[in-house]
Chain A
């Protein structure tokens, strides 16, 4: 139980385009989802926290207009990277927590490459 999936697992896009990444909790209702970003050989850095039905809370230094987060249902959160640029290339990881499960559960991550 407590499985989180992400889609796609990898994506390549051209500079200036937008990319949407989905995070789904498959067998529990996720009241809160977190989005992390990981650079090569570096820590996972929290980008934002999203609670179902409300606006996401962004960490300091994260551009909310660039990284749009929507948590419209208890099983789905999306991260849209708008007008992507090569510096946005990274590994994006989501995690989810719910009232019926103890702890925070992570998706496998999405590798974004912007050309």
Chain B
């Protein structure tokens, strides 16, 4: 079945550092890929998505590229802020963001001043 694997956290880094969170997936078809973010005390929010190979999703300075050849969807941000401290979830859907989601375990990111 489908699965998503992402790097374990917590990831601790200083403000303005470069952030990468690795995510790989296995799927039988051609899934859509997502990154969700959960800030403390809040629900998961869609951060970005990509629906086909080589698509790049971007939002709030974050980027991720759908790499079919490596079955990856790594999240990157060039310069993090304290406000980026949150838990980040990689997910896939065999349909789109309207359908069932398969999540990775989540990666906690802590950004210090």
Contact = CB atoms under 8 A, between A and B. Distances in A.
Interface of A: 4, 32, 34, 36, 41-46, 49, 93, 95, 97, 102-109
Given A102-B98, A106-B44, A108-B42, 19 more contacts: A34-B100, A34-B101, A36-B103, A41-B106, A42-B105, A43-B89, A43-B102, A43-B105, A44-B89, A44-B103, A45-B103, A46-B101, A95-B44, A97-B98, A102-B97, A103-B46, A104-B97, A105-B43, A108-B43
Given A34-B100, A44-B89, A46-B100, A106 B105 contact: no
A36 B38 CA distance: 15
B41 interface: yes
B45 interface: yes
Interface residues of B, number: 19
7 contacts: A34-B100, A44-B103, A104-B46, A106-B44, A107-B43, A108-B42, A109-B43
Contacts of B64: none
Q: Is the interface of B mostly helix, strand, loop or mixed?
A: loop
Contacts, number: 49
Nearest to A94: B43
A13 B103 CA distance: 28
